[in-house]
Amino acid sequence: MKKLRENPLLLSAVIAIVALVASFWLLANPRSTLPFLLTLGALLAALLQPIPKWLKILIGGAILLLVIPAAGFKNSFLFELGIQTGIYAAMALGLNVVVGLAGLLDLGYAAFFAVGAYTWAIFGSPQANEFMPWKIFPLPGEYFYLFMLIAVVVAAITGVVIGSPALRLKGDYLAIVTLGLGEVVRVLANNLDQPINITNGPQGITPIQRPPIDWFIALLEKFGLQLSRAEAYPLFFYLLVLVIIGIVTLVNIRLDRSRFGRAWIAIREDETAARAMGIPLFPTKLLAFATGASFSGAMGALFAAKQLYVSPESFTLIQSIMILVMVILGGMGSIPGAILGAATVTILNVDLLKSASDYLNNLRNAGFTLDLGFFKYNFANLPNQLEPAKYERMVFGLIMILMMIYRPEGIIPERRHVLEMKKEEA
Amino acid sequence: MLEILIQLLPSVLLEGLILGFVYAMIALGYTMVYGVLELINFAHSEIFMAGAVAGAETFILLKGAIANPFLLLALALLIGGTVAAVVAILVERLAYRPLRKRGTTNRLVPLITAIGVSFFLQDLVRLIEGLWHNAFYRRYPSFAVFEATYNLPNWIGVLVIALTVWVGFWVLAYFGDWLLRRFAKRAPAKGRTLSWVAAGLTLVFLVLYRHVVFTDLGMTIQMKSILVIVVSLAMLYGLNWLVHKTKLGIAIRAVAQDAQTASLMGIDPDVIVSRTFLIGGFLGGVAGVLFGLLYTLVHPYVGFIPGIKAFTAAVLGGIGNITGAAVGGLVLGMLEMLGGTYLTFLTNGAMGTEYKDILAFMILIFILLFRPQGIIGQQLGEKV
C-alpha cells in the first residue's frame, strides 16, 4: 500500500484500471449493488488520491457523465439515487458551513429545506389560488429557476429570523433551540391549512410544476438519443443536480478560503480569542447560519419539483439528523468529506437498507431453511418487524456514537480539525 | 365567553399540575446530569421511554397473577425505574465515559454522542418490542380503581381562580410599574404595594363575576392522577433528602462543584457520575410509568416530546438546581395546559393542540434569552 502511494504512475494505472473494470461491470449488471459501489469507490479514489489532474477529470467525467447515465437508462433507480445523493450532498455542504466551519450545532436544518420546498410548491401548484386574489396559479414551469433563487433568499431570511434569537445562545442551548425551532416550522407547515389555507396541512401539496425540458429533449435528439418525457426527466434532474453540486462546491471552497471562512473557523476554535481579534461574533455567526440555510432552500425547491409532491412528513427531525450524520461521517469542516458522507448515508438509507429488507422478505416468503447441522432456522418464522429499512434511526445513532468515540474528525478529516479533536485537555 | 374561560380555569390548571409533576420528575434527570457533567443528556428522553415501556410490560405480564392494582402499580414503578436506571448507567459507561477518558476540547463531541444514543435507543426498544410481540405499541391496561373519579369541593376551585387572577393582576401591576419606572422615571414601587394592588383588583374581580365563580365548578380528579401526585411528591422529597442529608448526596454535590478537588478528598468521580445517572434514570423510569398510567399508549418514540418539555422545564426553573426543576416542571405543565386549551377555544379550533408544543419552545427561547439562570436562579440553590 505504501509502495503504491509513493509511485504515482502505478497508482494512476491501478485506479484507471479499477474504474474501467467497474464501469463495464456496472454497464453489464445495472441492477446489482456491488458494481455500482465499486464504480463509486473508483470515482472517490480518483478524486482523492494524488494522481494527475487530467486523469482525475477524465475518470470523474466519464463515470458521472457517461457510465452512470448509461446504466441509468437500464435501471432508473440509479438516477433516483444520484439525484438524492446530489440533493443531500448540497445540503451537507450547507450544514458543513454551519457545523463544520462555524462550529454551531444546528439540529433544525430540515426547516430551511422545508421553506425552500414550500416556496416553489405553493406557487408552482394551484395551492396559491387558495389565498391569493388573482387566479393565475400554477405558475408555468419556466418560473422554477426564478423560484430557486427566491427560495435561496427566503431560506436565508428564515435563517436570519431563526438565528437572531438562537445564535445569542451557546453550544448546547443553541442545539436544543434550533431543534425546537425546526419543529416549529414543521408544525406550522402541518397546521397552516386553517384559518387560511396556505400549506394544505398534512395532506401536502400536489401536483407541482416541473421546469419544461422540450429544449433538452431536442438537444438530445441532435446527439441521436430519442427519449420520451418520462425518460428524459430523471436524466435532466440528474445533470441539473450535478451542475448545482459543482456550483455549491465551488462556493464552499471559495468561502472556506475567504475572510469569512477564516472568521468562522476562528469562532469555532475560540470565541473569546476571535472577538479579541476584532471579529464581530453575532453577525459572523448569523452569516454562517444564513449561508447554510440558503443552500438548503435551493435544494428544497429542486426537491419539490422532482418529487411533484411535498408534505410536512418530509421535513422531520430525522431529516435534520440525517444531514448532520453525513457531515459528521465525512468530517466536520471537510468539503470532500461532506460529499462522501452524503453519498454514503444516502446509499445506505435508500439502497442498502431497503435491499436488506427485500432480501429478508424474500427469504421469509420462500420459507428458506438455514441448516448448519447444529443450528437450524426456518426463515418463515422470522418476525416481520425485522426490517432493516425501518431502523434508520438505529443506524444513524450508531454511526454518530461510533464516530464520536473512535474517529471524531471524520473519514476525510479537515487538517485543522485533527489536531483539535485529538488534543488532551490541559 | 369569558364566563366559560373562568369556569374552565380550575380544571385546566389541575390537569396542568398533574402533567407538571411528570415533567418535573423527568427534568430532575436532566438537571442532575447537567449539574455534574455540564452535559445535556439528550438520551434522557429515551431513558424515560424505556421506563414507560418496561412498566407497560410489567402490567401486561402480571395482570393475571396479581389481583391488587396498587401492588401491581408498585411493582411496575419499581421495575420501570430499575430498567431505566440500568439503561442510564449503561449509556454512561458505554458512550459518555470513553469520551471523558479521552478528553476533548470540542464541546460538540459529547452532545452529538448524546443525540446518537437517543436515536439508537429509540430503535433498539422498537427492535426488542418488535421481535417480542411483533408490534411496538403497548397499551397500559385500565383498572376501575384507577379510573374512579372523585368530586373536589367547590371552595378549592374558587381558591384556584382567586389565586390565578391574583397572579395575573400582580404581573400586570409589575408591568405597569415597570412602564412608569421606564418612561415616567418614577421610583419603583415596593413589592408589598404591588401585592396589595393585585389583591384589591382580585377582590373587585370576584365581586363582579360572583355569578360565575361561585357556581358549581365541577372539578373532578381521577384516582390515577392522585397517585401521580402522591408518588411524585414522595420521589421529589426523597431526592431532596438524598442529596442534602446522605453521604452520597454530599459526594454528588462535591463532584458537581469541582471534580478534581473531590477526587483529592477520596471521592471517585466516575462512581459518583454513575450513581448520578442511576438516580436520574430511576426517577425518569418512574415518571415513564406514571406517564403511561395517565395517557395509556406508549411506544419507542413516546419520549421525544416529553423529553424536550422536561428539558424546557429544567431550564425554566434553572438548570442544575433540584428545586428549580420541580418548580419549572409545574409551571410549564400549567402554562401548556392553559395555552393548549385556551388557544383552541379562542380561535374556534383554528389553532390546534399542536401549537402548545410551539408554546413550550417559545418559553424556552424566551427564558434562555432574558433570564438564562431560570426562575429560581443559581444564586439561591446550590448546583447538584
B167 found inside a domain: yes
Q: Is the pLDDT of residue A416 over 70?
A: no
Quote the mean pLDDT of chain B: 87
Q: Which of B119, B302, B89 is nearest to A328 (CA)?
A: B119
pLDDT of residue A127: 82
For chain B, percent of residues with pLDDT exceeding 70: 96
> Which residues on chain B are in Cβ contact (under 8 Å) with A360?
none
Query: For residue A104, with 0-12 CB atoms within 10 Å meaning exposed, 13-18 middle and 19 or more buried, which class applies?
Result: buried
Same domain, B362 and B231: yes
The DSSP string of A382-398 is S-TT--GGG-HHHHHHH
Alpha carbon distance A166, B365 (integer Å) = 7
Same domain, B167 and B292: no
Same domain, B194 and B256: no
B116 touches chain A (CB under 8 A): yes
Contact A171 B111 (CB under 8 A): yes
Same domain, B144 and B164: no
> Which residues on chain B are in Cβ contact (under 8 Å) with A421?
104, 106, 109
B33 found inside a domain: yes
Which residue among B108, B347, B349 sits closest to A103, beta carbon to beta carbon? B108
Query: Which residue has better confidence, A352 or A263?
Result: A263
> Which residues on chain B are in Cβ contact (under 8 Å) with A179?
308
Same domain, B327 and B243: yes
Q: Which of B217, B235, B251 is the last residue of a domain?
A: B217
For residue B25, give the CATH number of its domain: 1.10.3470
Chains A & B: contacts with CB separation below 8 Å: 144
Same domain, B157 and B292: no
> Which residues on chain B are in Cβ contact (under 8 Å) with A99?
108
Same domain, B143 and B213: no
Same domain, B39 and B113: yes
Same domain, B65 and B114: yes
Q: Side chain identity at B102, as an amino acid letter? A: R
Quote the mean pLDDT of chain A: 86
Chain A interface disruption, residue of B119, B134, B332, most A CBs within 10 A: B119
Which residue among A172, A390, A408 sits closest to B40, beta carbon to beta carbon? A172
Distance from CA of B197 to the nearest CA of A (A): 35
pLDDT of residue A421: 61
pLDDT of residue B381: 39
The number of folded domains in chain B is: 2
pLDDT of residue A225: 79
The interface residues of chain B toward chain A in range 323-352, judged by CB-CB distance below 8 A, are 347, 349-352
> Which residues on chain B are in Cβ contact (under 8 Å) with A194?
349-352
Q: Domain ranges in chain A?
A: 1-75, 78-329
B85 found inside a domain: yes
Contact B112 A194 (CB under 8 A): no
Q: Which helix (H) or strand (E) holds A369?
A: strand A369-371
The interface residues of chain B toward chain A in range 128-167, judged by CB-CB distance below 8 A, are 130-131, 134-136
Q: Which of B166, B187, B217 is the last residue of a domain?
A: B217
> Which residues on chain A are in Cβ contact (under 8 Å) with B308?
176, 179-180
Q: Which of B217, B238, B256 is the last residue of a domain?
A: B217
Q: Which residue of A has its CA nearest to B307?
A: A176
> Which residues on chain A are in Cβ contact (under 8 Å) with B130?
383, 385-386
Same domain, B27 and B161: no
Mean pLDDT of the region A291-303: 93
Same domain, B64 and B82: yes
Q: Which tens digit of pLDDT belongs to each residue from B45-62?
A: 999 999 999 999 999 999
Q: Is the pLDDT of residue A36 over 90?
A: no
Chain B interface disruption, residue of A176, A282, A345, A391, most B CBs within 10 A: A176
Which residue among B118, B134, B352 sits closest to A384, beta carbon to beta carbon? B134
ipTM of this predicted structure: 0.86
The DSSP string of A301-317 is HHHHHHHS-B-GGGGSH
Q: Are A307 and A387 in contact (CB under 8 A)?
A: no
Q: Which tens digit of pLDDT belongs to each residue from B288-333?
A: 999 999 998 999 999 988 998 999 899 888 888 888 889 999 999 9
Q: Is the pLDDT of residue B340 over 70?
A: yes
Q: Which helix (H) or strand (E) holds A371?
A: strand A369-371
> Which residues on chain B are in Cβ contact (under 8 Å) with A398?
116, 120
Alpha carbon distance A14, A16 (integer Å) = 6
Mean pLDDT of the region A210-223: 86
Instruction: Give the structural domain span for B195.
Output: 153-217
The DSSP string of B351-371 is S-TTHHHHHHHHHHHHHHHH-
What three-state secondary structure class fits B85? helix
The C-alpha cell of A118 is what? 414550500
Q: Which tens digit of pLDDT belongs to each residue from B56-80?
A: 999 999 988 888 889 999 999 999 9
Q: Is the pLDDT of residue A134 over 90?
A: no
Chain B interface disruption, residue of A324, A404, A422, A423, most B CBs within 10 A: A404
Length of chain B: 384
Q: Are A113 and A297 in contact (CB under 8 A)?
A: yes
